C-alpha cells in the first residue's frame, strides 16, 4: 500500500486541523510534482535584484515618506532609483481582490507588503493560491507605494521557500493562552511580535552587561556547572550522576567559590554569566534553571559595589534605549520605579525599626525609638503569639502583616541574627515599594538593604566595628530582589567555622545549606586579597527592564510539565 503524502503520520482524519494539514501537504505535493522543492535552500536573487532585509528596504525608500508616515509612489521610486530588491520572510497576512494579491512579509527586521499583480506575474499568478499563512517565501521586484500610501514591493516573481504544514493558531494575531505561549514559543514569537522584542532586549541587556564589565577591566571566565559539593549559596541542589567516574554530582547553585579561587590565583577582576540550577519552587520570580551574573573585584568593598551597581544598571538601561528606542519608551512608561535618582541605602536594623514604627503598635514604636530594631527583637522575645490579636488592631499596616508565617519563621530562629532577618523579611520587605518613594511620590526607589547579620551570611566578611554584622547588601527594585553582594570573607579560619555551622544545620535537617569545602579553605590559606563579590539574576533584570510580569516571559523555553494528551 502506498503512503498518502498529504497526511501527517500522526493525523486523526476527523479533526478540522488535520483536514487543513492535509490540504497544505497536498500543495507541497503539487510543488514536488512540478519539480520544485517545498523545503528549498537555494535562496538567491534571479532577476537582477539585490538581497536586502526589510529594514534596509525601508531605509532605501525613506525619502519617499511623508510627515504622516505614508509613502508617495513617485518619491519612493525616485529614492529607489529603479533598484530591484530581493526579500525573504514569513507570510503573516494574505488577501486577494480581482487581479491583485496583498501578502504581508515579516523578517527579523520588520514587515513589508508585497503588492502582487496578475499583470506582472502572468500565468504564474494562479500559483499564489498555493501560498498559505505561515509559509516562507522570497520575492523580487521594484519598490513602490500603494494607493493607501503603504510601502510595498511589486514583485516580478514570488516563490515558496518553506511550506508550513500546520496552520497558525486560530487567534494568529494576539495568541493569549499562556500555556500554549510558553509550550509553543515558536508560535508565540510569530503570533505576538512584542514577545520577540522582549527576547531581543534580553540579548542587548546581556551584551551591555558584558560591555560595562569589560570596560572596567574585568575578565570573563567559565567555571564548572557540575560540582562535587554544594556551595556558593544557600539552596537545594539538583543531583546528577557521572557514569565514567561513578560519582554523584550537584548542578551548581552558584559559581562563587570557583570565581574566588581565581582571585587567589591573581586574576583580580573576574566575572561569569552562566546557568545555575536550584531545586526550588516555581513562581513568577523563580525558575529552577536561571542565568546568573557574578563578578569578583579585588581590593574593593561592598560600598564600591553599591556605587558600581548604580552605574551598571543605568548603563545597561541606556544601551537598551539606544538599541530599541520605541520598545524602551513603552517599557519605561510602564515602570513603577525609577533609576533616575540615587538609590536608597538603609541598614537592616534601621529598616526593622522604621517598619516597627509604621505599624503604630505602641509597644513596638516605644521599643524601636529606644533601641532600634534590636529593641523590637527583645520585645518579641521567644514567642509573641499571645499578643498577635491585640497588635493586629493597631493600624492597617499591622493588620496587613503575615502574622502566621512571621511567627512560624520566628520560632525557628536560633539566634538574634536570624531573628533580625526574620523581622526584616516579614515587616519590611513586603512594604519597600510603599516606604521608599522617588521625589514625585509616584514611583518607587531601588533600595539597598545593607549590613546583614553574620548568621545568615556564611560567605560574607564581618564588619570591623560591628562583628555581629557583615558588609553585605541586597538590592530591591520595586520590591523584587535583584542583586546580592558583599565584602568577601578571606579569613580561612573564620570561613572553616562557618562551613562547620552549615554542616551542623544540614545534620539537623536543614536542606538549604552548604557543604564543608576543604579545598576552598585551602585556597584561602594561600591568601585571597581583600575583595567584594556581586551576584545578579539576568532573568529578573530582563523582567524589570521590559516590564514583564513573570520570569517565564523572559525565558524562551521555561520548564513545564509534560503535555497531557488525555
d(CA 302, CA 307): 9
* Angle made by CA atoms 548, 549, 552, in degrees to the nearest 5: 80
| Cα atoms in the 13 Å half-sphere on the side-chain side of 264 | 19
Query: In the prediction, which pLDDT does 14 show?
Result: 54
**Rounded to the nearest 5°, which phi and psi values hold at 76?**
-60, -45
Query: pTM to 2 decimals?
Result: 0.88
Smallest Cα–Cα separation from 217: which of 265, 270, 258? 270
Mean pLDDT of 28-44: 96
Provide the greatest CA pair distance for the chain. 92
Residue 174 confidence (pLDDT) above 80: no
Give bridge partners of residue 478 from the DSSP assignment.
none
Please state, in angstroms and as integers, the Cα–Cα distance from residue 210 to each residue in 205, 344, 451, following that order: 9, 26, 28
CA 40, 42, 47, 53 torsion-angle sign = positive
Residue 326 confidence (pLDDT) above 50: yes
Cell numbers at residue 80, please?
529607489
What does the mean pLDDT of the chain come to? Answer: 92
Query: In the prediction, which pLDDT does 3 show?
Result: 43
DSSP E strands in 409-549: the ranges are: 447-453, 469-477, 480-487, 531-537
Mean pLDDT of 368-388: 95
Query: In the prediction, which pLDDT does 170 show?
Result: 67
d(CA 501, CA 526): 23
At a CB cut-off of 8 Å and minimum separation 6, what does 363 contact? 379, 391
Mean pLDDT of 272-289: 89
Confidence of residue 565 (pLDDT cuts 50, 70, 90): low
Give bridge partners of residue 311 from the DSSP assignment.
none
Q: List domains and CATH numbers for the chain.
A: 16-168 (2.40.50.140), 185-335+491-561 (3.30.930.10), 345-477 (no CATH)
Looking at the chain, the whole-number percentage of residues with pLDDT higher than 70 is 96
Decide: 397 and 437 in contact? Cβ < 8 Å.
no
> Tens of pLDDT along 194-238?
899 999 999 999 999 999 999 999 999 999 999 888 887 778 889
d(CA 257, CA 518): 11
DSSP E strands in 306-445: the ranges are: 344-347
Looking at the chain, the whole-number percentage of residues with pLDDT higher than 90 is 81
> Tens of pLDDT along 396-449?
999 999 999 999 999 999 999 999 999 999 999 999 999 999 999 999 999 999
Please state, in angstroms and as integers, the Cα–Cα distance from residue 237 to each residue in 254, 277, 445, 509, 543, following that order: 10, 7, 33, 15, 24
Query: In the prediction, which pLDDT does 284 show?
Result: 81
| 3-state DSSP assignment of residue 137 | strand
Amino acid at each position: 500500500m502506498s503512503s498518502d503524502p498529504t497526511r501527517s503520520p500522526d493525523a486523526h482524519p476527523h479533526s478540522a486541523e488535520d483536514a487543513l494539514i492535509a490540504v497544505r501537504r497536498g500543495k507541497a505535493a503539487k510543488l514536488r510534482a512540478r519539480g520544485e522543492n517545498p523545503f528549498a535552500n537555494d535562496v538567491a536573487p534571479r532577476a537582477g535584484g539585490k538581497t536586502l532585509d526589510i529594514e534596509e528596504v525601508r531605509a532605501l525608500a525613506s525619502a519617499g515618506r511623508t510627515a504622516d508616515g505614508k509613502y508617495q509612489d513617485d518619491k519612493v521610486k525616485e529614492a529607489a532609483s529603479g533598484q530591484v530588491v530581493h526579500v525573504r520572510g514569513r507570510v503573516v497576512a494574505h488577501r486577494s481582490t480581482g487581479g491583485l494579491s496583498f501578502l504581508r512579509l515579516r523578517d527579523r527586521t520588520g514587515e513589508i507588503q508585497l503588492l502582487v499583480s496578475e499583470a506582472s506575474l502572468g500565468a504564474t499568478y494562479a500559483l499564489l493560491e498555493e501560498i498559505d499563512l505561515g509559509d516562507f517565501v522570497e520575492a523580487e521586484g521594484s519598490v513602490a507605494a500603494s494607493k493607501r500610501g503603504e510601502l510595498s514591493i511589486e514583485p516580478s516573481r514570488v516563490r515558496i521557500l518553506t511550506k508550513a504544514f500546520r496552520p497558525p493558531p486560530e487567534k494568529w494575531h494576539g495568541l493569549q493562552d499562556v500555556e500554549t505561549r510558553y509550550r509553543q514559543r515558536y508560535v508565540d514569537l510569530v503570533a505576538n511580535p512584542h514577545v520577540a522584542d522582549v527576547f531581543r532586549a534580553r540579548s542587548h541587556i546581556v551584551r551591555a552587561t558584558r560591555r560595562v564589565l569589560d570596560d572596567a577591566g574585568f575578565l570573563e571566565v567559565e567555571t564548572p556547572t557540575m560540582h562535587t559539593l554544594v556551595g556558593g549559596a544557600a539552596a537545594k541542589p539538583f543531583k546528577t550522576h557521572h557514569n565514567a567516574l561513578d560519582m554523584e554530582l550537584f548542578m551548581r547553585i552558584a559559581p562563587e567559590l570557583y570565581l574566588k579561587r581565581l582571585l587567589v590565583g591573581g586574576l583580580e577582576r573576574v566575572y561569569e554569566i552562566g546557568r545555575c540550577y536550584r531545586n526550588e519552587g516555581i513562581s513568577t520570580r523563580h525558575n529552577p534553571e536561571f542565568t546568573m551574573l557574578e563578578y569578583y573585584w579585588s581590593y574593593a568593598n561592598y560600598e564600591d559595589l553599591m556605587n558600581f551597581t548604580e552605574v551598571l544598571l543605568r548603563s545597561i538601561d541606556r544601551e537598551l534605549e539606544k538599541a530599541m528606542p520605541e520598545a524602551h519608551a513603552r517599557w519605561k512608561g510602564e515602570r513603577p520605579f525609577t533609576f533616575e535618582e540615587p538609590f536608597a541605602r538603609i541598614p537592616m536594623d534601621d529598616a526593622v525599626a522604621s517598619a516597627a514604627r509604621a505599624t503604630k503598635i505602641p509597644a513596638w514604636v516605644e521599643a524601636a525609638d529606644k533601641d532600634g530594631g534590636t529593641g523590637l527583637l527583645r520585645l518579641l522575645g521567644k514567642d509573641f503569639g499571645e499578643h498577635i490579636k491585640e497588635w493586629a488592631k493597631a493600624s492597617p499596616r499591622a493588620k496587613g502583616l503575615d502574622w502566621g508565617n512571621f511567627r512560624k519563621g520566628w520560632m525557628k530562629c536560633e539566634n538574634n541574627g536570624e531573628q533580625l532577618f526574620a523581622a526584616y523579611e516579614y515587616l519590611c520587605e513586603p512594604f519597600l515599594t510603599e516606604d521608599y518613594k522617588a521625589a514625585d511620590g509616584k514611583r518607587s526607589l531601588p533600595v539597598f538593604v545593607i549590613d546583614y547579620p553574620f548568621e545568615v551570611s556564611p560567605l560574607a566578611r564581618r564588619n570591623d566595628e560591628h562583628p555581629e554584622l557583615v558588609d553585605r547588601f541586597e538590592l530591591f527594585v520595586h520590591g523584587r530582589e535583584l542583586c546580592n553582594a558583599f565584602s568577601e570573607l578571606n579569613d580561612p579560619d573564620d570561613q572553616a567555622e562557618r562551613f562547620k555551622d552549615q554542616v551542623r544545620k544540614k545534620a539537623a535537617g536543614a536542606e538549604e545549606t552548604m557543604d564543608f569545602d576543604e579545598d576552598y579553605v585551602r585556597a584561602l590559606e594561600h591568601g585571597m586579597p581583600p575583595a567584594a563579590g556581586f551576584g545578579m539574576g539576568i532573568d529578573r533584570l530582563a523582567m524589570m527592564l521590559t516590564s514583564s510580569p513573570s520570569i517565564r516571559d523572559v525565558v524562551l523555553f521555561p520548564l513545564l510539565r509534560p503535555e497531557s494528551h488525555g
